Amino acid sequence: MPFNVPLPAGNELAYLAEAIGNRHLSGDGPFTKRCNAWLERETGTRQALLTHSCTAAMEMAAMLFDLAPGDEVIMPSFTFVSTANAAVLRGAVPVFVDIRPDTLNIDERLIEAAITERTRAIFVVHYAGVSAAMDEIMAIADRHGLFVLEDAAQGMAARYDGRPLGSIGHLGAVSFHETKNVIAGEGGALLINDERFVDRAHILREKGTNRTKFLQGRVDKYTWVDVGSSYLPSELNAAFLLAQFEKIDEIQRARHRAWERYHRVLAPLAREGLLAQPTVPQICAHNAHIYYVTMPSVDKRVELLRRTKAAGIGAVFHYVPLHSAPAGLRFARQNGPLPVTEDSSARLVRLPLWAGLADDAIDAVAALVADVARGR
């Protein structure tokens, strides 16, 4: 039983054939434009720009924020390396603060103590499709004149107080990697919620040229005007993604069914204190991206991973905290101790989850978790 199964949901093959028939396989073709329009409609963002990865979208955000050597960016250590790399590539310093024990998101109560005269931005990560405390974080940013990037790589179709993740900060970044809820194989998007970033985002995405203005008839030729890179996805990725967008409601229903079954069958173990289940605050509407359990000890986590591997079940741990990584020690710093980050990372196990995962498979995984939790 693999950890994830990337599956077509509808018109993927037909749209791939159509894209090939259009004889436009490079970026910003008709399928890319349709995906951008879908994202703008569904998230309410001012401008959505499809990229070849969420990593690319975050790198664009760092450039749009004009991060420079010596600037500081506050973020959790419990995240994927792309969150930190986006800052480091501009010469900025990630400043790690601890996470909350309930949602495993950045602890908003620790952010202000980490702000210095060098702080330029806060990078917020929405772990497992459960939102961080965005009202509090945006209020902090407003008080101190900071930018906010939402790393909503895991957040597609999730909401905070009714607002789609990625649409609340100045910028948002989402992922369509094959492990996500809706997929393009590889892919992502930058969500631009602040009007002042729109024109420059097009330039950065088009290798530092004003090609978009040229295509819109706003200039008579295009040329190199800024830094940038090649952040456009292929039309083939966009074609696959559009078919996924069209079936997102069905995909989400299937994922929620699997998530809820895990939550229900494992609840007795949580009540007995034998493991911890995910916490979803009332203000959050999660997207069933990840189902994880936190085992009561490191030894129990090791045993669970050993036995799931022996049984052919794709259960996996998650992030090795970035502050303990070689590059983290070199390029970043932490603001105070990070006990929740270190403890949660050492005990967390993600369980298989995809749209179409059968009930009996979920029950088999849960039974193995129960055996380990009970010492059988």
pLDDT band at 208 (very low <50, low <70, confident <90, very high): very high
* pLDDT > 70 in the chain, percent: 100
> For the chain, what is the mean pLDDT?
97
pLDDT band at 215 (very low <50, low <70, confident <90, very high): confident
Helix axes 359-373, 248-271, angle to 10 degrees: 30
Q: Return the pLDDT at 101.
A: 98
What is the per-residue burial (b if ≥16 Cβ within 10 Å, else e) of 237-254? bbbbbbbbbbbbeebbeb
Burial class (CB in 10 A: 0-12, 13-18, 19+), 282: exposed
In the chain, the N- to C-terminal Cα span, in Å, equals 22
- Of the candidates 49, 55, 10, the one whose C-alpha atom is nearest the C-alpha of residue 27 is 49
CA 252 – CA 255 distance, rounded (Å): 5
Q: Return the pLDDT at 112.
A: 98
CA 295 – CA 67 distance, rounded (Å): 39
pLDDT band at 220 (very low <50, low <70, confident <90, very high): confident
Q: Which pair of structure tokens corresponds to residue 80? A: 């994927």
What is the per-residue burial (b if ≥16 Cβ within 10 Å, else e) of 72-90? bbbbbbbbbebbbbbbbeb
- Give the helix/strand (H/E) hosting 74: strand 72-76
Phi-psi group of 312: left, alpha or beta (phi > 0 → left; psi -120 to 50 → alpha; rest → beta): left
CA 175 – CA 154 distance, rounded (Å): 7
Asked if pLDDT for residue 217 goes beyond 90, the answer is no
Q: Return the pLDDT at 218.
A: 87
DSSP, collapsed to helix, strand or coil, labels residue 238 as: helix
CA 174 – CA 190 distance, rounded (Å): 7
131 in Cβ contact with 160 (< 8 Å): yes
* pLDDT > 90 in the chain, percent: 96
CA 202 – CA 210 distance, rounded (Å): 8
Q: Return the pLDDT at 212.
A: 87
CA 162 – CA 330 distance, rounded (Å): 39
Across residues 271-298, what is the average pLDDT? 98
Count other C-beta atoms under 10 Å from residue 105's C-beta: 24
- Tell me which of 156 and 220 has the higher pLDDT: 156
Q: Return the pLDDT at 221.
A: 87
CA of residue 327 relative to chain centroid, distance: 21
CA 127 – CA 105 distance, rounded (Å): 6
Question: What number of CA atoms fall less than 13 Å from residue 27's CA on the CB side?
Answer: 18
Asked if pLDDT for residue 108 goes beyond 90, the answer is yes
CA 100 – CA 133 distance, rounded (Å): 10
Asked if pLDDT for residue 53 goes beyond 90, the answer is yes
pLDDT band at 51 (very low <50, low <70, confident <90, very high): very high
Across residues 120-134, what is the average pLDDT? 98
Helices then strands, counting H and E runs in the chain, come out as: 14, 13
pLDDT one-digit tens code per residue, 223-237: 999 999 999 999 999
pLDDT one-digit tens code per residue, 13-43: 999 999 999 999 998 999 999 999 999 999 9
Asked if pLDDT for residue 307 goes beyond 90, the answer is yes
pTM of the predicted model, to two decimals? 0.96
Q: Which pair of structure tokens corresponds to residue 88? A: 């480091």
CA 323 – CA 230 distance, rounded (Å): 30
Q: Return the pLDDT at 250.
A: 98
pLDDT band at 161 (very low <50, low <70, confident <90, very high): very high
Across residues 143-147, what is the average pLDDT? 98
CA distance readout (Å), 64 to 67, 126, 204? 8, 21, 8
Q: Which pair of structure tokens corresponds to residue 25? A: 């396989």
